[in-house]
Structure 1
């Protein structure tokens, strides 16, 4: 490499464009997702860079997740000169938006998939069963918070399939009313492995499965089974995080478009056996980015102030749930695995 090539993540590209190329930086949350970052030292890892053939001199400087690192150049960025004061990956920003700054703080974003992060403290917690160890936040003084992340491939996408594939709803918003029209799934279990299974099973050859259908099964039961599946996927991740993260999860903060579904939030609380706290701002990734920029420019003096800033739109207390429900779910998951390879 001639030395004129700059290599980075999307945030470093955007910052370089906004500053007319004067700043080539990324923050620790993004750096920790490149497979080139050493979680122990907080720097680029020479061995990994050599393994992947990446010249270290071309990589961006790793900076804190908040604090002014430069100003946008008006000629390059919409005529605006403004401080650039907050940088984070999307899921880490969502954790910030949920004011998750202490060990055990846990958030789940329900989007096309589900993304669960649990704050594990100031030391990285290693996973042996498919969770991802990541930097959750790097503070101005260089201190780093860590998290474990688990990813579910299909959440909102399952509801979209009910709409576009089966045609049993006309819009995603209709799934709640349809699912509420029956008291339960009537013995139906839906494993939405439409693109394989993510954590904790990690099986790209798994395929979707609906089992337990009888002549009494209706589209309402399938809708209800879909919401059950979304909740049980998260239960699998929470149980794994409890075991590997060494933290006590006492409440789950939720956000994302599907979190607007009251029935889903209640099913989630029931299946987890802990309260589910829905953020008043469902798009917490953007909120977290704003929080970081505010910390970086002095709007807030500390993360403690942000904890008091967060607002809830509802807390769903756990109710009764069938003790056999999760076991039946896991049985169905196992039946869905290793299918495409056959």
Structure 2
């Protein structure tokens, strides 16, 4: 069997897959979220580790350690952990990818004219979403000569190997603003720009390689969660795309090597998908910061629903949103706008507005944000979907309607964990990828005029939020 360690934004999971690619065991544990100031989001690194280790132990107890032949790690990206390289003790809470505390640092770098050069080397934009300014912020506040900085994959790898392995892979390194897409390594000019010492960063290894061992079992693959889902959806050929619906939405399209800078689509990122067998595969990416988190807000912030599962029936109880448009810019807007100071709004309210209309508008906001990405990326053909909210049939039909293209939901629902498990299994020579199979295809059913009307209403609302 192959174990997939899946470290997400709100919970940790461990899954075991057999040689046919079937998930045979799963354990999950949530961990706390911390919001010390408006716009700030933190995790306790030790709480991440304890939650992850608990799920690992639970699955190992189910399947037996003797049956495990390899481990893969997939993780929330851009989140930064700082720890003492001698003791392994965290030096501060982790700064989460959603955190906006470095907005002013990004403004300063933009005002100084650095964004074009950063974009050319990294394929990214100067936004607090990425790791570079998070590391810069931390390095100014911790004892840097003894500090290691890493994304969550590196932190877990360090803990799993007892401090013997300090490494990452290109899919995670390419999210930091410190990695050069052309050289496949940390870039000295970028390190100097952000004030980061090369010695405080992990070694970059191919995504499919042996990173170390946990109790004698090889760790054979590391992928950022969105790249893992792309791999699990078997979007191997350039032009294929997937969208993962989680806390946010992440739409990746497999690409040829990075295009020239003047050909890049404004607001769409270039990133590494994976490196295996000596070859790098790339992807273009659009990120929506708030998707499932908007449904959580309906539940926890407003108390309109008790569970996310209620949203489908509530949305179906009304013919449309009743003119309500919700732009969930709680932490700014991501692609293709990249405005960290945008704030959420709800417009079109009347005395006839009910919670069903607000739920409908929330689901439509998720689909509309993805439609923005698809238009920017010029995707035609088919979109493959995964993640928790992809199980909502109403949302998936709405997505197909607003995109005007089919949406395919796979039979294998654990695509992120499955993707890194397959990579680890291939690296260990245990099994190859199974044929991809759709569980359901959602065909667009909205008229072109109605689609255009809804898209225009959304654009007007976004313009007010920016």
What TM-score, normalized by structure 2, do the two folds share? 0.64
Q: 1:17 to 1:190 in 2, by over 3 A?
A: closer
Aligned to 1:254: 385
Q: Is the 8 A contact 2:258 2:270 kept in 1?
A: no
**Structure 1, residues 151-194: CA drift from partner, whole Å, max 9, x if none?**
11211122122223333322111111011011222222221223
Partner of 1:136: 273
Match of 1:214 in 2: 350
Indicate how the Cα distance of structure 1 residues 252 and 59 shifts in structure 2: closer, same or farther if over 3 A, else same: same
> 2: distance between equivalents of 1:215 and 1:5?
56
**Counterparts in 2 of 1:66-105, with a 5 A limit?**
66-72=208-214, 74=215, 81-105=216-240
Tell me if 1:330 matches 2:465: no
| Shift, 1:4, TM fit | 7.1
Q: CA deviation at 1:26?
A: 1.6
**Structure 2 residue 444 is matched with structure 1 residue 318:** yes
Residue 51 and residue 188 in structure 1: after superposition, are their counterparts in 2 closer, same or farther (change >3 A)? closer
C-alpha displacement at 1:112, in angstroms? Answer: 1.5
Is contact 1:125-1:147 (8 Å) kept?
A: no
Does 2:323 match 1:181? no
The separation in 1 between residues aligned to 2:196 and 2:351, in whole angstroms, is: 59
The match for 2:284 among 128, 148, 153 is 148
Kept in 2, the 8 Å contact 1:106–1:249? The answer is no
1:20/1:185 Cα in 2 relative to 1: closer, same or farther (>3 Å)? closer
Report how far residue 210 of structure 1 moved: 2.1
1:125, 1:97 → 2: CA distance?
Answer: 28
Aligned-residue CA RMSD in angstroms? 2.2
Kindly state the Cα deviation for residue 204 of structure 1 after the two structures are TM-superposed: 2.8
2:402 corresponding residue in structure 1: 271
Tell me the number of residue pairs that the alignment of Structure 1 and Structure 2 aligns: 319
Rounded Cα–Cα distance in structure 2 between residues aligned with 1:98 and 1:316: 17
Structure 1 gaps, min length 5: 75-80, 243-247, 338-342
How far is the alpha carbon of 1:85 from its aligned partner?
0.6
* Structure 2 unmatched runs, 5+: 1-142
**Matches of 1:296 and 1:184, distance apart in 2:** 49
Deviation at 1:6, TM superposition (A): 4.7
**TM-score, scaled to structure 1:** 0.86
Q: CA deviation at 1:139?
A: 1.4
Larger RCO (alpha carbons 8 Å, 6+ apart): 1
In the other structure, the counterpart of 1:165 is 301
Residue in structure 2 matched with residue 60 of structure 1 by the alignment: 202
Alignment match, 1:230: 366
- Give, in whole Å, the separation in 2 of the partners of 1:14 and 1:168: 37
**Structure 1 residues 294, 249: CA separation in 2 closer, same or farther (over 3 Å shift)?**
farther
Aligned to 1:201: 337
* Whole-angstrom distance in 2 between the partners of 1:176 and 1:3: 52
1:326 and 1:255 mapped to 2: Cα distance?
23
Whole-angstrom CA distance in 1 between matches of 2:288 and 2:144: 41
Aligned twin of 2:256: 121
Cα offsets for 1:278-310 (capped at 9, x unmatched):
123434221111111111111235xxxx2x433
CA 1:4–1:173: 2 relative to 1, 3 Å: closer
Q: By how many angstroms is 1:20 displaced?
A: 3.6
Contact 2:265–2:377 (8 Å) recurs in 1: no
The answer on whether the counterparts of 1:105 and 1:249 sit within 8 Å (CA) in structure 2 is no
